[in-house]
Amino acid sequence: MSTSEYNREQKRLLQRQGTLDAEGMPALRSTERRPPTGPSRGGFHPRQFIDEVILELRKVMKPKRAELFNYSTVVFFTLAFVMALVYAIDYVYSLGSTQLFK
């Protein structure tokens, strides 16, 4: 696709991204490298790590008291049901094995 086929919105977007220059021609890329913008690879900094952990924990949505009670109740009864099911299956197999090996 040539540069004359872009519409105005595409040209503006490409100019903001630095792909096109002000006249709409492809921008020349510089050969020099940009410094990395991400985290440095110089080592581990405990204070920066703690700050980032605190920042991420602020984004966590905590459940309300009623939601927490409901979730806990569901987990408890599901666990009780699975325990009873495993016990029943174990009991049936133990009866069968005692009859089989008598």
**Cβ distance 31 to 9 under 8 Å?**
no
Q: Tell me: the pLDDT tens digits for 84-93? A: 999 999 999 9
pLDDT digits (tens, 9 = 90+) for 9-34: 888 888 887 777 777 777 776 555 55
- How far, in Å, CA of 76 to CA of 79, rounded? 5
pTM exceeds 0.85 for this model: no
Q: Which residues contact 19 (CB under 8 A, 6 or more apart)?
A: 26, 27
